[in-house]
Structure 1
Amino acid sequence: MSLPSSSIDIFSDEVLADPYPTYRTLRDLGAGIWLEQTGACFVGRYADVRRALNDWQVFSSAQGIGFNPVINAAWEEALICQDPPTHTARRKLMMEALGPAALSAVVDTIQQRASALAERIAAMGTFDAVTDFALDLPVGVVMDLIGWPHDVRPRLLDLASGSWNAAGPANARMEQGLGRLQGMMGLLTTLYDEQRVLPGGFAAKLIASSHRGEITRDTAIGMLAGYVVAAFETTISAMAAGIQLFADNPREWDKLRADPRLAMSAANEIVRMETPLQNFARVTTQDATMSDGSVIPAGTRVVVSYASANRDERQFRDPDAFCIDRSEKQNLGFGHGPHGCAGQNLARMELTAVFSALATRVARLSHAGESARGLNNISRSFTRLPVLAIAA
């Protein structure tokens, strides 16, 4: 069965502003759709995306997860661009810093920061969900956890912002993202060479592993870069998206206020609804038969669409509805399989802590002005989101 094709450009401004109707159109066309504008095959149905994320032998990351050769060469040493067994060994290093045992040390810090943030938002009334809210825990907790020097933190955050653009196809956003990424790589290289990281953090442990010869210098810098890009923008995006979703769905906020224990479920639903990283690439190593019988030929670059899968009506009842006590729990917002997000435990902890704290202090969230999204080839986020919080 041959693949249907489409002239839809999923990286156009119009689609990036509101991608979900386009994703549905593509899902309805088939399990695999050849995108003429991108030169890749779109995979957006839940069952097929989940299979692709698990079946690394057929859907390989080793030729890069981006949609242009420049970024795939630059990220050759990044963890997300490796297949097992190389990926397995390197991921083990990362999980020593991000696994449940390591994160137990920051549980109290996260709870305290979440409580203080909720108090501040309730007192402010009108606030920006990005700058006043979403930045707080990812920056305050993750920066310390990794061990970045205090003087470089503002610059590192600025360089990380928007850098996912570099993974898109050749367009203006990609060029802009490459500039930011090059600046970030230069900064990380300097920090590595001068050993200017704080002792005890993930960066220091990774650098020490490199000095012991367990990984190379380039691998260490690549792993640090991959974590910087993923850790900040994605969690910040999810934090702001949660505020937007609760402002749009006051009944769901009432549910959370009535039972703050739903915060963990709410965190998962936020990530399902507004998947921070929308699409990554894989390359097929052999012909791949999809759920509808169509075949993606070997050597094809594939758009693996986490965001489309998370809105697939074949998997989720009423998929465009925000429902924090949804019965279908398994979404792909944090990935799945070998490349499941290494930082997902931390992200869930932060989202759960901050929304459970906010629910005890804020009676209602409502929009207080025009929001703005930063169009990005890969990630989905707000640049401005003014909100009114009515204190409980």
Structure 2
Amino acid sequence: MAWPGKCGGVTSSHAPRSDMDLYGDAALIDPYPHYRALRDLGSAVYLERIDAWFIGRFTDVRAGLGDWRTFSSAQGIGLNPTINAAWREALICQDPPIHTERRKVMAPALGASALKPLEATIGARADALAARIAEMGCFDGVADFAHDLPINLVMDLIGWPDDVRPGLLAIADGAWNAAGPMNARTEQGLATLAAMMALIADIYDANRVTPGGFASQLIEAAHAGVINRETAIGMLAGYIVAAFETTIAAMASGLALFAANPAEWGKFRNDPALAVHAANEIVRIDPPLQLFARVATADATLSDGTVVPASARVILSYASANRDERAFAAPDAFRIDRRERLQLGFGHGPHGCLGQALARMELVAVFTALARRVRRLELNGTPQRIVNNVTLGFAHLPMRAIAA
């Protein structure tokens, strides 16, 4: 396969290599300097510690996400065989045409026409949240702010029973760790994932979901024979890890970014029409999902001529691509009116985030409501990052809101 860039190729034996510990605590807490170092080495860098190739330049990541035939998800998106076997029925671990058919089962519930009637409900919930934050003054940006809509509204939309919601949230917080290379953190994540899959299986078998919700529609499709039990359980798992942890992470990141960039908050308050652009910029600069793995099905020549060999496990990093100075001016700067609008925080191609319209709606609603009631956002202590193999977010985010 020929990719955009130079003619010819650099064989894998002469390709850039690194012994960087991309899955150590330091890199997971602050990954961006590590990504830049790898981008500077080349379009694809062989990571000696984990026997995988890292692709982090925007042009190559975007091309890879769009080319499922060369960079396949069908052998799993993780870096260990246990997660890839456990999630073999998950939507993110399928290629077309199977992926396309299964995505059709979930798409109607998350499409624009289905979400349109929810705008008023989401807006009212966001306004109540903003009023509460303005009155509180000091608050935790995760527990008091970012949890609100995903837990109290999205769980209703999906239709999870009330008694399992706290457990589902706790499980979602650590499930992505299971996708890392085999180490202590990954082993803990695999145990968390096993508990999650067992809980979902119990919910499925007892049909303990709210009628009319996303989960109910999926279970009905399984009972009708459109998909089987294992596929339904794998797809229900996607609702948990995608709908909660990622949206929570983006909302908390937005608070931290606006606190660190008060001029951007002022710009937003003066022009609420920037809300959608602000949501995209939050996800660009701090993507909740940092990377996923793929498997190369054939030799692939990247934009600088480096050849990734067939059968190699490959890491495509959305977060690295979104900070690539080749694609973005001042990529580490948070600018809500940024000219470059194309970013990969919601993915690209067949596996583009199915719930991105809902996520944008939530982000737009909460920050628009907050801008009406809060003049300034400030950090009120030292934030605590989550240490996770795939996601980037906050465990705690002490904040102060100065009411308008």
TM-score, normalised with respect to structure 2: 0.96
- Provide the rounded CA distance (Å) in 1 between the counterparts of 2:112 and 2:151: 20
Residue 51 in structure 1 maps to residue 30 in structure 2: no
**1:122-271 residue pairs with structure 2 within 5 A?**
122-271=134-283
Q: Hey, what does 1:384 align to over in structure 2?
A: 396
CA contact (8 A) 2:222 2:228 kept: yes
- Provide the rounded CA distance (Å) in 2 between the counterparts of 1:17 and 1:195: 39
- Provide the rounded CA distance (Å) in 1 between the counterparts of 2:112 and 2:388: 31
Q: Which residue among 67, 73, 94 is the counterpart of 1:61? A: 73
- Provide the rounded CA distance (Å) in 1 between the counterparts of 2:228 and 2:316: 30
- Provide the rounded CA distance (Å) in 2 between the counterparts of 1:360 and 1:327: 25
* SS of equivalent to 2:400: strand
Q: Hey, what does 1:314 align to over in structure 2?
A: 326
Q: Hey, what does 2:358 align to over in structure 1?
A: 346
Residue 6 in structure 1 maps to residue 18 in structure 2: yes
Q: Hey, what does 2:7 align to over in structure 1?
A: none
Amino acid at match of 1:191: I
- Runs (4 or more) in structure 1 with deviation over 2 Å come to none
Q: Hey, what does 2:3 align to over in structure 1?
A: none
Amino acid at match of 2:42: G
* SS of equivalent to 1:200: coil
* SS of equivalent to 2:328: coil
Q: Hey, what does 1:73 align to over in structure 2?
A: 85
**1:276-291 residue pairs with structure 2 within 5 A?**
276-291=288-303
Amino acid at match of 1:173: R
Measured after TM superposition, the shift of residue 227 of structure 1 is 1.9
Q: Hey, what does 2:95 align to over in structure 1?
A: 83
CA contact (8 A) 2:374 2:401 kept: yes
* SS of equivalent to 2:304: coil
- Superposed CA deviations along residues 132-189 of structure 1, whole A, max 9, x for unmatched, are 0000011112101111111111111111111100011111111111111111111110
Q: What RMSD, in angstroms, separates the aligned Cα atoms of the two structures?
A: 0.7
Q: Which residue among 25, 30, 33 is the counterpart of 2:42? A: 30
TM-score, normalised with respect to structure 1: 0.99
Q: Number of paired residues?
A: 392
Measured after TM superposition, the shift of residue 250 of structure 1 is 0.3
Residue 362 in structure 1 maps to residue 382 in structure 2: no
CA contact (8 A) 1:260 1:360 kept: no
* SS of equivalent to 2:377: strand
- Provide the rounded CA distance (Å) in 2 between the counterparts of 1:133 and 1:179: 29
- Identity, in percent, stands at 64
- Superposed CA deviations along residues 289-312 of structure 1, whole A, max 9, x for unmatched, are 100011101101001000000000
- Provide the rounded CA distance (Å) in 2 between the counterparts of 1:243 and 1:31: 32
Q: Which residue among 305, 330, 340 is the counterpart of 2:342? A: 330
CA contact (8 A) 2:55 2:316 kept: yes
Q: Hey, what does 1:112 align to over in structure 2?
A: 124
Measured after TM superposition, the shift of residue 71 of structure 1 is 0.2
Unaligned runs of 5+ in 2: 1-9
Measured after TM superposition, the shift of residue 105 of structure 1 is 2.4
